[in-house]
Structure formats: structure tokens, C-alpha cells
Amino acid sequence: MRDRPTITVVGSLNVDLTLRCDRLPRPGETVTGWDFTQRPGGKGANQALAAARLGADVRMVGRTGADAYAEVALRNLRAEGVDLSLVTQAGQPTGIAMILVDGAGENEIAVHPGANALLDLGDIDFGDADAVICQLEIPGAAVAQAARATRGLFCLNAAPALPVPPEALARAEVIIVNETEYAALPPTNALIALTLGAAGAVLLKDGEPLARAAAPTVTAVDTVGAGDTFVAAFVVGLVEGRKPSDALQRACLAAALTVTQQGAQTAMPTAAQVDDWTAA
């Protein structure tokens, strides 16, 4: 396997405002929470941090506002040594995610994109990055720009379930989705990693299963960030030279480790932690 693969993540930078409560409210209902936190988040930032912890050299491309939340959004990435030279500021607030988490770890999320909605890559050059990862929390035009600028593996995490730019769909070699996102995905020739929560994940090509991976049984504390950990772990595994089926299993293990702790970025495991659990 390769040492220190290089990955560029093009995506959202948010601050997660998380309220924990015994149960999620029904429509029109108010519930009282018992814990409130402000933590770095956003699918792009989460995937960049997870990839760095899993052994990659990572560059983040995104936008924040010129506000106090900008430093909150970037602090964990900076601490993990992620290259932030292509993170710029915009004339909108830093993106915000409002998250409710119940006692079983299930969540509801609403996002205000803020500066993320103004991301424009222009004539960016990704150089010889082994892989570029995009999600759909940034403008479709930026996703298409990333697809054009990618020389290595282009992975699209088609989340949330929004229309996919045709150029990005055609360029993507790997697409990662959950069941809701898969149902909204147009036909594609890409290798699809379909996540199934506690049931694990499956690799699909032209609608046919190629491999399956089971998820280990764990006690879920917080499911926020598990999908982002899966994306990072799967792509890191591929560019390290692992077989797709092995990368899929490792991604399931990494995601399962994430849900055993509170928070998204704070719960993402290192490569050594995944290795230790695999050995056990």
C-alpha cells in the first residue's frame, strides 16, 4: 500500500450547533434539550479531517465568512495539519448546521449554507492529488469545476439528495450514497458504495452487487459524521491500493467507531484506532 496518499476535499465548512434531547420533536412540538455544543462541521470539513486522521495528506477547498464562526469551523482542520491555503472568505456568514440528537443517537439536521453557497473554483489546479472528494453542500457549478480539474480519482458523495451536475456524474469514478440518495441518483457507470447504516454497505456496478461489508455491532451514541467518516475511509483505502471490498469493510469499521462517541469531527478515528479494532 502507498504511504501518505494525497487527497483534496472540495466542500462545505460549517459550524454544528447541536442540541441533545431525550427525543426528537414531532411537527409543531417543542422539547427541552439537556446539552448544547458548538463544533466544527460540514460534510467537506468532516471528510477532510477524517481523511487526515486516517493517514492522508489533505488539502481543503472551501469558503467561510469573515466572522467568529470561521475560526471555529477551521480549528480542528488546522490542528490536524490540513492544508487550508485554498479556503477563502466570502461576504456571507460561515455556514451553520442546526442539529437535534435524541437519546438513541438519531438526529435531524437543517443547514444554512452561508459562504458555502458562494464557492467558485475558477481556474484552480489540483495538481497531482491522488483523489478529489466532492459533496453536494456546495454549488453544482463548483462540483462541475472540481470534476474538470481532477486528474486523479474523482469521488462524489452525492449528499444531500440533490440534482447532480451532469459533468460531475460523467467524471465520477466512485459515488458514495445512502439509500435515500441512491434512489435520487441518475444512471451512472461509476462504482457505487451504498451505505446501509447498521446493515453495513454494498458495492454496486451497473446495479449489480460486487461486494458487501457488515457493520460491527456497537452502541450508538451519536450518528452525526459517520457517513463522512465512511467516505474518507473508503477513498483513503482505494488510493492506498486496497481492494475495493477491503476498503469497503474498513470504511464500515471507521464509521462504526465514529458513532460510539459524541460529536462528528471529535469522534473520527485515526488509522491506528481502526487497525487496532481490525486486529481485535
CATH of residue 139's domain is 3.40.1190.20
Residue 115 lies in a domain: no
Residue 19 lies in a domain: no
Residue 221 lies in a domain: yes
Q: 177: closest CA among 203, 199, 198, 216?
A: 203
**The model's pTM:** 0.91
Q: What is the mean pLDDT of the chain?
A: 93
Residue 269 lies in a domain: yes
Judge whether 279 and 269 are in contact, CB under 8 Å.
no
Predicted local distance difference test score (pLDDT) of residue 162:
94
Label residue 125 by pLDDT band (50, 70, 90).
confident
User: CA–CA separation, 112 vs 13, rounded Å?
Assistant: 11
Label residue 29 by pLDDT band (50, 70, 90).
very high
Judge whether 52 and 58 are in contact, CB under 8 Å.
yes
Predicted local distance difference test score (pLDDT) of residue 184:
95
- 276 in catalytic set: no
Q: What is the pLDDT of residues 207-216, one digit of tens each?
A: 999 999 998 8
Q: Is the pLDDT of residue 220 over 90?
A: no
Question: Which domain range does residue 249 map to?
Answer: 6-12+43-95+120-279
* Domains of the chain: total: 1
User: CA–CA separation, 173 vs 235, rounded Å?
Assistant: 11
Predicted local distance difference test score (pLDDT) of residue 276:
83
Predicted local distance difference test score (pLDDT) of residue 28:
93
Q: Is the pLDDT of residue 67 over 80?
A: yes
Q: Is the pLDDT of residue 221 over 80?
A: no
DSSP character at residue 118: G
Predicted local distance difference test score (pLDDT) of residue 1:
55
Query: Which residue is it, cell 466544527?
Result: 40
Q: 153: closest CA among 136, 182, 176?
A: 176
Residue 48 lies in a domain: yes
The active-site residue, picked from 16, 130, 222, 228, is 228
Give the mean model confidence (pLDDT) for residues 224-237. 94
